[in-house]
Amino acid sequence: MAPAAVADAGYPFLSGIEAYNDNDEDLPAKNKLGLGDITPQTDTPQSSSLPRLAESLLKAASTVQSFPAEESTISEQYVPVGILRRSSAQFPEQELYNLQNHGWIQTRWNVYETYPGWSFVQVYVLPHDVARIAVSRSSNTLRKALRAVMANIDKSPTAWNGDFEAGPSEQGKKAAEDESLWYIFNTLDNPNPTIDDVRDEDGKLAMQELMASSRESKQEVRETSSVIGLKTPLHPYQCRSAATMIQREVQPRQMLDPRLEVCKTPLGQEYYYDKEEGTLLRSKRIYEEACGGILAETMGCGKTLICLAVILSTRGHFPRIPTEYQETKNPTRKSVGSLMQMAAATAGRFSVSWPSRFRRLRELGVNYARCEEECERHRGEYTIPPPPSRYTSRGGWMSRPPAVRLRLISGTLIIVPPNLVDHWTSEIASHTEGLQVLVLRSRNDKTPSEEELLKYDIILFARTRFEKEAGEPETSRHAPSVSAVESPLKKFHWLRIIVDEGHNVAGHGYKSSTMHMLDQLHVERRWVVSGTPSNGLYGAELSLASHQRLVGDTSSEDDVPSSVLHSRRKAGTDEELKDVDNLRLIVVEFLKHKPWANSRHDDPANWTKYIKPVGEDGKRRKAPSLRAVLQGLVVRHRLDVINEELPLPRLQNKVVSLEPTFYDKMSINLFLFNLTVNAITSERKDQDYMFQSRNRKHLSLLINHLRQAGFWWTGHKPKDIESTIEVAEKYVTNHIEKMAVDDIQLLTEGLRIAHRALASESFSSFCHSDELGVYVQGFPDHARDYWSLTSNSDETKPLLLGLSQARLAQTFITSHLTAEDPSEGLAGAGISARRELMLRSEKKTARNESNVADNLTHKNKPTENRSPKKTFLKGISKKLSSDSPLSHTKLVATTSAKLTYLLDRVQELHKEEKIIIFYENNNTAFWIAEGLELLGIDFRIYANTLKTSQKAAYLSLFEESSSVRILLMDLRQASHGLHIASASRVFIVNPIWRPYVESQAIKRAHRIGQTRPVFVETLVLKDTLEEKMLHRRQEMSNSEMQHAEKDMLDDSTMSSIIQHERFYELPERDELIEPAYLQEACGFFDRHELPIPDDYVEQSSHRPTTPTKKRKVSLLGQGFLPSPQIEIDLSPDLISPAKKQKKKKVSTFQIVTENGIVMTPPRRGSSSRALRSPLSASDYQSPAVSPAASPGGVDDRVVVEESLPVQGSSLFGGDVL
């Protein structure tokens, strides 16, 4: 309905104030004015508010009578923005008055025809880019007033036309603000390059070459690529991504200033409003998108290949000379040049891609060598003038740096983590040809001269090597901040830079060394390559990878991606603000994206102010423009497109619940006993309570060790257990009257378990000797008692040995396979091993008193054990005879449920499939490695202590060799960039708290290039705390997981589960204790072969008649002869005085196998240990449990040593690659 104009004469401001009628007969049923609640039975607002509102209206009318009395006419320069309805609290009365008084707005008052007692205000705003001379716009007070007015405007056309029932529609904007960062990232538009819109001819040609393959029929098999030098045809999505990257490079799109919001007037006209500054513009403010961005394709879908395709298709292109440094006049020659010279000079000034064009001509058989030489002599260059002179604080002039002359170069700088250098070189060799590549990985690698750099298409840097290019800064405060050693890289204007896994290229709240160097370079096109640009920006495929499903369950599988997207569409803003800050570092510091990276003199945009604005509730929230910012930066296809064009083999992820052994339960129970005693004796309060906030560090350490106990733990020392028992019993004696019945029962059960642990000979033996138990059937009778870990060795039952002991027994037999009786001397070796166990127990007790933890030395190197006089060219080896009595000795069980399951599965699968076993701590890796050695299965350990070169060598061997089929990988090393698609079986030995970390590990194998279905198994002890942890993780919302991402104790539910965990039931009698049996017993002494030297002659069977007291006994592992000799005293001297024993030289065993891994104990002072051991725990008790001030730590490091290959062998024990 058309509004009826009210007489404005005499009251021009009154037209901006809403009038109210005391007669409420004509009021509408629906209260749109905010005057009060209206009940269904009446159409009248609360009458008590009407007199007050009428008085307010009359007062407002009396205050504006000084305005000129004339018909209200609105200038065409003003923009109609909407209407205001007056409410008792929100109507901006004073703001309207101030704005109209200063000419910023004009208003018109109208009444509703149907309800003449009610009115609305039409507001017109003078844009800030109109009449700036006539009306000043510098007042911050008026800007604030305009923000208040615009915040209450109803912009709907129906309201403008006088519809009483109309209301503001802001649902779309609020929905955009509520979208989670994860949801925005996974629902960005797919790359859609538009070749016809590109004006640059060279760029258009490059895009056409890339897109040619994607336009071919899907049924046609592509054998070659249309891009010169690219041997591998691209998938359609890769073509689109590469073409989109080139389009953004050669012709960045014009984008609206992200600070502005596009609005429409009620009459349909567009205007632009900055609600943070209170600025309204009639014309849009435009910026170019970044010349580059973030390549964030789904993990494992060929981001490296896409980058190489971009480089090849733009090979020979040059960066443009920046506009501010271009010469406005053509240079004048001293003499007239030839046409070729002038053409070459012009090509250089305008960055013509002459190398690319001449290369295409050469492909056609046309050669213009002289033209190329002339173009090279006239290569484009420009000069950056020095900055203006400045005064010093003492009135002098500061010396100006000289002008900088930069040459244009068509090369691409690629910066990658050190462990991915080999991956890039391998990809370049596999997929490209003709590229000139320079690899600089070591800090000792020298950067070539300027002229040599011009030859290369790619300069591939390890990130640590790239940081060295910055040189050492000058220390003089008067000197300019430049490097003491000038890098040749700074002499060029580079075409492109690519930072692989660049999510942290700009640092974390600080400027990284890489960024310091990048700030000194001139680069036109900048790209970050990362599937996870920030913690909250990762693909839906990672969320899907961590979803456990039963093998063979195909129900509703297609609905999983959409359901995951829907479930995470909304998320808590607070948890995502840190991710937005991390994104700012990439956008501002690296990509130099305008307007965020504008200089202070060029109207810079404040990232925090506009991307994380403060909402009406006073809390920061994500701005609706965040989606547009990401859309202009990120190149990424949605998951459904990838799955349609490149279906990966199925991923099957399941949880395997295992029945824990007696020893598994006992270890976990003792941790729970510590927590129980602490909770009861501290009465669950004050600083002694372990769950008190100040004890978080100690509690986290204890929980970490409790999780390790899910695989195996030997850190419970008798002295610690006795100390805890003493504290508990003393408390019960003194406070039993006030103790709750539940606490008495709980503590009684805990004391019973602790005494049971002390009484168990086998459990105590494991803790004394830091061993994991294995059971061997048919061990030679004459040596059985000397190798047994316990004093009671029933010949009718399997023999219990420590895992390290078992390896030594194996090694002894293997090294004597050439003897007539390989078992001769086995008893003596067992005696020495048992004595070493006793000595080690005594020494460890002394060290624990001083809180010194053992170290584990795990040497990943082949040592020079073969005699230089011996050769093994014939490849002869000796194996245990099948008719030997020793061939009946079998490994039947272990004391760890998880180790037994792993050994079973490895034996079943390793001949047909390759396997990755992920571990979280080095103790676990040690026991798994020992178990695999026991089976004689070749493997490698990808540990965090390895050098980068060794990691690359192990990874290459695992990927390419058919002999090494097992890879043990530290979970911390399984993150970004590693490609291990040869593995189709993944085992996670302990459940992982963070789904993102678990998914990263799984995607190492489930990625492009994988040809088999990938099976993932997470091992969990049934009905234990780790199973409850996994269930809790699966039911947590995204916001809850983000809150407790770093520590599960941050989740109140999980913390409560731990506090209320009860003891696990144990067998009543020791006779009922069962180990974890292997599904099929496997050979024990016949797992290894002994290499025989070429000049070996069968020895005579003559034996010496007089036995010697001491003789050399070889305990070397398979693969090397002659072995180092180790003195073992065969006399059963088990009761020698400690003083005498200290004087004896303690033997050190080195076990070396074909895979080149040597495990030896670390040396402490002058002593050494014959048996290798994992780590032991120290005191865990809180102040309420033991006299110790706080829980002790444990050193869980694995020291990995390396050496160069020896005598032609490879660095990793296999064939030289």
Residue 768 confidence (pLDDT) above 50: yes
> Which tokens sit at 303?
């981001």
Same domain, 1026 and 991: yes
Boundary of a domain, candidates 125, 148, 168: 168
Same domain, 856 and 927: yes
pLDDT in tens, 45-77: 333 333 343 344 333 333 333 333 344 577 888
pLDDT class for 1147, splitting at 50, 70, 90? very low
pLDDT class for 1012, splitting at 50, 70, 90? very high
Determine contact, residues 874/945, Cβ cutoff 8 Å: no
How far apart (Å, rounded) are the C-alpha atoms in residues 949 and 422?
Answer: 9
pLDDT in tens, 666-724: 999 999 999 999 999 999 988 889 998 888 899 999 999 999 999 999 889 889 999 99
**Rounded mean pLDDT of 1042-1056?**
87
Among the listed ranges 935-944, 977-986, 1050-1059, 1115-1124, which one has the minimum average pLDDT value? 1115-1124
Among the listed ranges 269-283, 673-687, 1156-1170, which one has the minimum average pLDDT value? 1156-1170
- What pLDDT shows up at residue 846? 54
Same domain, 18 and 141: yes
> Which tokens sit at 720?
């610690």
Whose CA is closest to 18, among 146, 110, 151, 94? Answer: 110
How far apart (Å, rounded) are the C-alpha atoms in residues 861 and 444?
Answer: 24
Same domain, 959 and 1042: yes
pTM above 0.85, yes or no: no
**Rounded mean pLDDT of 381-396?**
75
**Rounded mean pLDDT of 434-445?**
92
- What pLDDT shows up at residue 482? 40
Residue 1118 confidence (pLDDT) above 50: no
User: Quick one: CA torsion of 72, 78, 82, 84, rounded to 10 degrees?
Assistant: -50
Same domain, 880 and 1017: yes
- What pLDDT shows up at residue 18? 37
- What pLDDT shows up at residue 444? 87
Ramachandran angles phi, psi of 217, nearest 5°: -65, 140
- What pLDDT shows up at residue 964? 93
Angle at CA of residue 186, ends 182 and 187, nearest 5°: 115
Determine contact, residues 315/656, Cβ cutoff 8 Å: no
Residue 121 confidence (pLDDT) above 50: yes
Among the listed ranges 237-251, 1030-1044, 1201-1215, which one has the minimum average pLDDT value? 1201-1215
CATH code (residue 541): 3.40.50.10810
Domain that holds residue 365: 339-379
Same domain, 298 and 354: no
Residue 172 confidence (pLDDT) above 80: no
Same domain, 128 and 198: no
Specify if 1115 maps to a domain: yes
Which of the listed ranges 611-625, 694-708, 968-982, 1186-1200 does the model predict with the highest average pLDDT?
A: 694-708
- What pLDDT shows up at residue 994? 86
Residue 980 one-letter amino acid: I
Specify if 698 maps to a domain: no
pLDDT class for 5, splitting at 50, 70, 90? very low
Does 878 or 41 have the greater pLDDT score?
Answer: 878
- What pLDDT shows up at residue 393? 59
pLDDT in tens, 491-507: 999 999 999 988 777 66
Specify if 8 maps to a domain: yes
Same domain, 373 and 442: no
- What pLDDT shows up at residue 677? 94
How far apart (Å, rounded) are the C-alpha atoms in residues 688 and 1206?
Answer: 56
- What pLDDT shows up at residue 329? 77
Residue linked to tokens 């792993």: 902
**Rounded mean pLDDT of 912-923?**
93
**Rounded mean pLDDT of 1145-1166?**
41
Specify if 387 maps to a domain: no
Specify if 736 maps to a domain: no
Averaged pLDDT of the chain: 77
Specify if 849 maps to a domain: yes
How far apart (Å, rounded) are the C-alpha atoms in residues 344 and 352?
Answer: 9
Same domain, 135 and 216: no
Residue 431 confidence (pLDDT) above 90: yes
Residue 1094 confidence (pLDDT) above 90: no
- What pLDDT shows up at residue 414? 97
Whose CA is closest to 984, among 1014, 940, 1017? Answer: 1014
Residue 1107 confidence (pLDDT) above 90: no
Specify if 260 maps to a domain: no
**Rounded mean pLDDT of 1152-1174?**
39
- What pLDDT shows up at residue 939? 95
Burial 1008-1021 (b: 16+ CB within 10 A, else e): bebebebbbbbbbb
Same domain, 156 and 213: no
Same domain, 111 and 224: no
How far apart (Å, rounded) are the C-alpha atoms in residues 841 and 839?
Answer: 5
Ramachandran angles phi, psi of 821, nearest 5°: -125, 100
Whose CA is closest to 527, among 412, 442, 605? Answer: 412
How far apart (Å, rounded) are the C-alpha atoms in residues 150 and 144?
Answer: 10
pLDDT class for 86, splitting at 50, 70, 90? low
Whose CA is closest to 247, among 290, 288, 212, 195? Answer: 195
Backbone Cα Rg of the chain: 39
User: How many CA within 13 A on the CB side of residue 885?
Assistant: 10
Which residues, other chains included, contact 652 with Cβ-Cβ below 8 Å and sequence gap of 6+? Answer: 549, 551, 552, 1013, 1014, 1015, 1016
Same domain, 973 and 983: yes
- What pLDDT shows up at residue 855? 39
Boundary of a domain, candidates 168, 188, 223: 168
Does 977 or 668 have the greater pLDDT score?
Answer: 668
Specify if 675 maps to a domain: no
pLDDT in tens, 993-1009: 988 888 888 988 988 88
Boundary of a domain, candidates 144, 168, 192: 168
Does 1069 or 219 have the greater pLDDT score?
Answer: 1069
Residue 761 confidence (pLDDT) above 50: yes
CATH code (residue 843): 3.40.50.300
DSSP H/E element including 100: helix 93-101
Is 1017 in a helix, a strand, or coil? strand
- What pLDDT shows up at residue 395? 58
How far apart (Å, rounded) are the C-alpha atoms in residues 613 and 843?
Answer: 62
Q: How many domains does the chain have?
A: 4
Ramachandran angles phi, psi of 1175, nearest 5°: -80, 155
Among the listed ranges 33-37, 341-345, 700-704, 1170-1174, which one has the minimum average pLDDT value? 33-37
Among the listed ranges 728-732, 848-852, 899-903, 912-916, which one has the minimum average pLDDT value? 848-852
